[in-house]
Structure 1
Amino acid sequence: MDKIKGILAVFLGAASFGILSTFVKKAYAQGFNLGEVTGIQALFGMLFLWIALGLLAGINPKYFHRYASSSPKWLIIFSGLSTGAVSILYYKCVQLVPASLAIVLLMQYIWIGQLIEFLLFGQRPTIKLLLGIVIILGATALATGLLEQDLQQLDVLGLGYGLAAATAYAIFIIVNGRVGNDYPPLQKSALMVSGAFIFVFLTLQPLSIFDSQTLRTLWPYGLLLSLFGTVLPPVLFAYGIPKTGVSLGSILSAVELPVAVCMSNVVLQENVSFIQLVGVGCILLVVIFLNIQKKPSS
């Protein structure tokens, strides 16, 4: 039962992450820059999580007694750098290349994460998992319309940012499964997002978000991006990944792709071809296949 809850939490967290590129594109269209978009997301996300944590502590203080929190808080805050890095690198990629290609590049976290697991922890992927990864990567190219784009017009710098974002996302998933699991998920997320906030503000210094005129038009994007990019995914991943394991969590996170494709069609009115729908369907089928457990023989 715990594993099922974990699977659902990771699934919903990834789906939340999948809508981000659509709203980032809309924010750029309104004239906002990378620093303002990432800065407002990090600020609002941190505030929401600490306020929610304070309310929970006031309503049910005994909740925190269930956890023997012994990990150093600075380590969890430091691990939040991966969250901030994902936002900066991915949103920069979205700025330079089409949204469909950006999500293709981000999806490379699947094999990058497995490579990191193998190199650092000696965890060998199963044949079933390797097969699923290969199929997902192939289906990703279909689902995003990669085969229908003119590759000669691609931005090389954008490709680099996309692969860097994929690496940061793989590290984020691995860190979530190994750091701070002795803390309540909400507190762990608040600490990680605080680390992301510090990283974003030291790196980009988006002080313009505190200007009243900028904030008046930017806050709706900050609300959406922080909720679906900073608040929900870390909380749901912090709860779910320890229950599913890092490998299964990485595969479940692939649901962000079909969500991103659907959002681009509904909100941005981008055309979704039959080939893209086939790719989305293949990814969903692979996710189901990887989670089917053999019944023990009687």
Structure 2
Amino acid sequence: MKNLKYPFMVLLGGAMYGTMSSFVKMSYTLGYSAAEVSFAQALLSALFLGCIPRKTPLTGNAWLSLLLTGSAIGLANFLYYQSVSYISASLAIVILMQFTWFSLLLEWLIFRQRAGKPELITVFFILSGTIMAGDLLHEGALAISWQGIVLSLAAALAYAGYIVANSRIGKGVNWQTKSVLIMAGSALTIFVINAGTIAAHHHFDATFLLWALFFAIVGTTIPTALFAVGIPKIGAGTSAILMTIEFPVAVLCAHFLLHERITPVQIAGIIIMLTAISAMNYFKSKKTN
């Protein structure tokens, strides 16, 4: 049972991430915006994580690099939350999952680290599964908001940038300090981009605080702690595969909470994407070992 504890922690963290898009979309019915929701989530998460004792002090200029890394995930969250106001939550998560091959593209462009043939093949299957899972061939596809598509693609690109940066920056920094700085950078970036919107809205009441606490605790603080404990125990490759649970959980939540439809073609596309993403993570982990 001890051996199963750490994989379960990673699975649970990924599943908690997966619920966010549906709940965010539900919060929009109360008049809240992506700007204030994402900002409050990041700010409260930084405060909660800052309460966790840290074992070692931060050295050098690592703090600046981590703040910039946080800017990437802050931008990704804001764009992703913004996209679900234009398109369905299930389609938004399908497009967000393109970060898997975007990260390969960034590593090639920035670090000249070329993808191998197996990884390129899995990219083909991810794109094929995306068309099926997103129901992009359906006769109503022309009615899809392309603004939502662009926003979710931009979110996927920013998320890929966060993953690439996070894998290379702050390796010697303990997870508590690293998490606080990343969330602080996230909150700061969201505020700078949306200062006017956040200042103009007057939703900072008890109801909004409850929503913000839910997003911060369930969507960031607990998953961050679970990943911090579980990932080092089972390795990055296995963790990346387990974390793909975020995808089906997001689609199922959208179906049950928002009553978004799921067709057999979409289910097949989801299975293809999950298989391809798992294969890609497997090949990447084999490279690093």
Deviation at 1:84, TM superposition (A): 1.0
Whole-angstrom distance in 1 between the partners of 2:218 and 2:181:
17
> Alignment partner of 2:137: what SS?
helix
Q: Identity of paired residues, percent?
A: 31
Q: Which residue of 2 aligns with 1:17?
A: 17
2: distance between equivalents of 1:101 and 1:131?
23
Q: 1:236/1:283 Cα in 2 relative to 1: closer, same or farther (>3 Å)?
A: farther
Structure 2 residue ranges without an equivalent (≥5): 284-289
- Please name the residue that 2:246 is paired with: 256
Q: Choose the corresponding residue for 1:182, options 154, 172, 187.
A: 172
Aligned AA (2:30): Q
Letter in 2 for 1:79: T
Q: Match of 1:90, as an amino acid?
A: Y
Q: Cα deviations across residues 209-247 of structure 1 (Å, max 9, x unaligned)?
A: 7x6x642111232122223433245555666389855x8
Q: Secondary structure of the equivalent of 1:97?
A: coil
| Displacement of 1:260 | 0.7
Paired position in structure 2 for 1:165 = 155
Question: 1: distance between equivalents of 2:132 and 2:113?
Answer: 30
Aligned to 2:27: 27
Deviations 1:97-129 (A, max 9, x none): 222222222122122111111111122223222
Match of 1:155 in 2: 145
> What is the rounded CA distance, in whole Å, between the counterparts of 1:153 and 1:18 in structure 2?
25
Partner deviation per Cα, 1:56-102 (whole Å, 9 max, x = no partner): 34xxxxxx25x985552122112210111011111111112222222
1:134 pairs with one of 108, 124, 130: 124
Equivalent AA in structure 2 for residue 217 of structure 1: T
Name the CA distance, whole Å, in 2 between partners of 1:224 and 1:47: 14
TM-score, length-normalised on structure 1?
0.79
Q: Which residue identity is paired with 1:270?
A: E
Kept in 2: contact 1:104–1:141 (CA 8 A): no
Q: Distance in 2 between matches of 1:75 and 1:5?
A: 32
Please say if 1:112 is aligned against 2:102: yes
Deviation of residue 201 (structure 1)? 1.5
Q: What's 1:267 paired with?
A: 257
Root mean square deviation of aligned Cα: 3.3
Alpha-carbon distance, 1:149 to partner: 5.8
C-alpha deviation, 1:191, in angstroms: 0.7
- For residues 156 and 97 of structure 2, what CA distance do their matches in structure 1 show? 7
**Which amino acid in structure 1 is aligned with residue 125 of structure 2?**
I
For 2:180 and 2:171, the matched residues in 1 are separated by 13
Deviates more, 1:135-144 or 1:231-240: 231-240
1:122 aligned onto 2:77: no
Contact 2:70 2:181 in 1 (8 A): yes
User: Is 1:101 aligned to residue 91 of structure 2?
Assistant: yes
TM-superposed deviation, 1:158:
2.0
Q: Which residue of 1 aligns with 2:221?
A: 231
Deviation at 1:290, TM superposition (A): 5.2
